Structure 1
């Protein structure tokens, strides 16, 4: 027996050694002082007398339940192994092993035999709910107007979710169908050639593509040698940093030029036609910049675009770079004989956008039933209309031209400057027995007013704008007499700078129930044109909303949700009862 005072507690114990219990001051986790620590000795019997058999009856190893969906036997990779005592593992009977194997195989078989709807729900939870591309159901917001393809489902974590194909063989097609459902490709010849080679080697993936999106660069770098983002393979990174610093000292700026390798629309349409026979949604993104270049439609030896009869929805982003006159649109519409939906948006407001659309909308094909045009979507109020509005009024009136498309449309959505002329002319041109217009959704940037009016701004404190908005709503209510199929009508003004956003004027007719602004004239006209419709409620005041220290403020108890009804006369109090004319 060694002396306790001289014994090192870290030496290996012999058969007849005592077990030394160290104090917390000397444990590795909490290092103690350098002075020797006290420890206690407990006499133990020799190890020869300790037999595992004496304790095996008291230790019951855990068994994996039979309902475990991923048993240990069938885990291929990344499985979690349990650490078993060697003595316990040796004592496993053959019957127990067979029972676990059969349980594992039955669990996997049960998972594979689940109905397809269950697998779809699991993947929808991961990828997002996948709606049909041909569905005409209402959007998530409840609007029966056009769906927004700007936020279409395109998963951003493709590399991570692609590994789910290894779960079961049934999931391979389901995963690939979701990953390749919406593709976005750069509209350059190099990118299109790479895509052609990829799908030539993977032709089974072509049928999964339902939405193909092409975006065209609007500029390219002129001197890439001094691009800070350009990765140069160099063993000495400091040398690269010194070269960039030298470039800054010489005042060498990175300049850009118009792209020289962009595809034409002819090449894009030919690529879609030969590669994606089942793509029914085509998105073209023209981009935006100062004095942007227009995407070429045809080369010198080409006369028309290849036909894409399977495409039913066309989405144009940055439309000014794609379509600038009626001939440009007709060239595209001729190549899409079954086009049903057209979504067009402009990157920035300009007079040319209104003039261009005014020349196009009267000549829409009859097969086109869904129209969504967004010209101004900054959602900011104006103190006065910008100067480009005078240019538009001098050349064209988009509201009157857009009314010519109402007799053939089923759904109309518009964001920009609008007035009651849309409903007045549209109802006059429509036959009550043949009209197909079911929904109208307008987001008002401003109301068209005579050019000689100088105070044509917007906002809830501008009573002139509120009265013009009431006139627009009244025109829409009057048109219900001839637009018999119109079931959903929403007109709204959005002001992100408003101090009380809930009071932004709006009107909505849905399922014969009206909410929003009202007046005695609107109520009486609604009773005449649509007798079955009525307002949910008709409040007489806005509550305690008023001015304080020169600012329009609402009390803390004021609801942040928009009220079900707002009387037009109530807005007069928001402007202090003063109307400048």
Structure 2
């Protein structure tokens, strides 16, 4: 304290020599009996001083004539536990969860699934359990011991680790040093790099800094790299882990993990993730707690039925499988055609995405014609229906899928509850040249109607099916609201309709009906070769569109 910082007169700036006596030699009689404790200033808002926590002995001297034996001694017992010292810790755990949900976002359960009829029949596990790892959120763990557990539970429930030996060893060391964090991990994600930078020939000082102060520094760094004349080259990775090493790491470290994500990446001629360390290994370590498997860039992870079989045997309690491919290719369809008919019976949720570019096409690409020469993918996919409960599929399909699914299903034993199909195109005979897609292609609209009609006819065999959605998504459509769709949810139908669809629905599902049945598209027409629509159709999707109404859209537009 300095003179300028306190109103009281400060003491000497240098310490003075003071003779001290032991406290046990000081007697009460030596004290001045006229000592009176100072009164609290009148400016203070509280007449009495605050009582401090702890075992405090308060000696009160009402007047100066009393001696020590007449003093009244009050003992204030300190709280015995931390929870009694703060009203915050007395709140139930549910209240703490609500507070943290408000601060850092709602925490979704690792075991819950989205029910049929919602926006997604199956949850997308990409970032379902991921929470913010900002420093502000991490510092909330310092509030109390209870908050420390709740915050750590949120921070560690979804981990993403690079699938290299160095990263796996570092992660294993971290959790060996902090074993109390292991039970918090519910979703473990491993991504395997497909590139590895070669030893750079340029000077390391020319590299771009990780934290660029401003845009000018970044431009200068890029200019230095370009002027150096030393191009950065890459090669296939040499230190990636095998699935055997990854599964062993998860088995020893994360005993409570129930979701596993494997990301294989994508590039031209990508390397496949090896499954075993040596030729003598025949099985992967068991992960009995894993119930959901997510494969991104699946072509680099699973290319044959044997590859999937090895993974399925290591996950005996697998219930949900999400597989997506980075690029459409014939090998993806052919590979899945060999796997889908032989799915394990415990697998009830399937989400397969073979093509997800959401663009219309003038004609079907050549790679799918190669698939037609090998197998009929729709028939092979239908063979997985008898054991499934929920199916989400993105790719090419035709009416043969529902036709064969109905033949293979027993109405008394059918477990299929929801089907969600996102159509890239309707597969048709290979000799057709005009097998494109789009709302202006009437051949595609009629093929889409045949697919919906087949799905409606199969409702009597698929007795448990309560949610059926078939959609065509075209991001380049002149009228996106008119992209054909059909939706059956709790016996209420919306989307395209025709007399054949209505009659089949009345026969196979008498309780179901269309919300409305419009006869025309309103003020939609052509002007100067362009399709123009009313504001209603341009903003909101109609509840019903008659199939014959698309005839007015088939002229005047040429799809390039």
Question: Normalised by the shorter chain, which TM-score bucket?
Answer: 0.7 to 0.9
CA shift, 1:93, in A, is 6.4
Aligned length in residues = 486
For residues 500-535 of structure 1, give each alpha carbon's deviation from its aligned partner in whole angstroms, at most 9, with x where no partner exists. 111100001000000000000000000000011000
- Unpaired stretches in structure 1, ≥5 consecutive residues: 1-87, 234-239
**Counterparts of 2:149 and 2:373 in 1: how far apart (Å)?**
57
1:266 equivalent in structure 2 = 244
* SS of residue in 1 equivalent to 2:396: strand
TM-score (norm 1): 0.79
For residues 173-210 of structure 1, give each alpha carbon's deviation from its aligned partner in whole angstroms, at most 9, with x where no partner exists. 11011111100000000000000000001101100000
CA 417–106 in structure 1, closer or farther in 2 if over 3 Å, else same: closer
Name the stretch that deviates more: 121-130 or 348-357.
121-130
CA 370–229 in structure 1, closer or farther in 2 if over 3 Å, else same: farther
**Counterparts of 1:122 and 1:232 in 2: how far apart (Å)?**
35
CA shift, 1:558, in A, is 4.0
**Counterparts of 1:376 and 1:229 in 2: how far apart (Å)?**
38
- Superposed, which structure 2 residues align to 1:506-517 within 5 Å? 506-517=485-496
For residues 251-282 of structure 1, give each alpha carbon's deviation from its aligned partner in whole angstroms, at most 9, with x where no partner exists. 32111000001000000000000000010000
Say which of 177, 186, 189 aligns to 2:162.
186
For residues 29-60 of structure 1, give each alpha carbon's deviation from its aligned partner in whole angstroms, at most 9, with x where no partner exists. xxxxxxxxxxxxxxxxxxxxxxxxxxxxxxxx
1:67 equivalent in structure 2 = none
Say which of 416, 433, 455 aligns to 1:437.
416
CA 246–170 in structure 1, closer or farther in 2 if over 3 Å, else same: closer
**Counterparts of 1:538 and 1:292 in 2: how far apart (Å)?**
50
1:221 equivalent in structure 2 = 197
- Cα RMSD after superposing both structures: 2.8
- Superposed, which structure 2 residues align to 1:167-178 within 5 Å? 167-178=143-154
* SS of residue in 1 equivalent to 2:126: helix
For residues 86-123 of structure 1, give each alpha carbon's deviation from its aligned partner in whole angstroms, at most 9, with x where no partner exists. xx977326635438999xx9997332212221111111
Say which of 111, 136, 139 aligns to 1:163.
139
1:254 equivalent in structure 2 = 232
- Unpaired stretches in structure 2, ≥5 consecutive residues: 1-39, 54-75, 77-81, 212-217
Q: Does 1:504 find its partner at 2:495?
A: no
CA shift, 1:343, in A, is 0.2
Q: Does 1:204 find its partner at 2:156?
A: no
1:359 equivalent in structure 2 = 338
**Counterparts of 1:570 and 1:162 in 2: how far apart (Å)?**
57
- Superposed, which structure 2 residues align to 1:152-551 within 5 Å? 152-226=128-202, 229=207, 231=209, 248-249=226-227, 251-300=229-278, 301-551=280-530
CA 245–491 in structure 1, closer or farther in 2 if over 3 Å, else same: closer
CA 109–382 in structure 1, closer or farther in 2 if over 3 Å, else same: same
1:146 equivalent in structure 2 = 122
**Counterparts of 1:493 and 1:285 in 2: how far apart (Å)?**
27
* SS of residue in 1 equivalent to 2:50: helix
For residues 205-244 of structure 1, give each alpha carbon's deviation from its aligned partner in whole angstroms, at most 9, with x where no partner exists. 10000000000000110133437646599xxxxxx99998
**Counterparts of 1:323 and 1:197 in 2: how far apart (Å)?**
30
For residues 432-474 of structure 1, give each alpha carbon's deviation from its aligned partner in whole angstroms, at most 9, with x where no partner exists. 1111000000000000100011011111011000000000000
* SS of residue in 1 equivalent to 2:110: coil
Q: Does 1:135 find its partner at 2:112?
A: yes
CA 483–411 in structure 1, closer or farther in 2 if over 3 Å, else same: same
For residues 521-553 of structure 1, give each alpha carbon's deviation from its aligned partner in whole angstroms, at most 9, with x where no partner exists. 000000000011000000111111111221112
TM-score (norm 2): 0.82
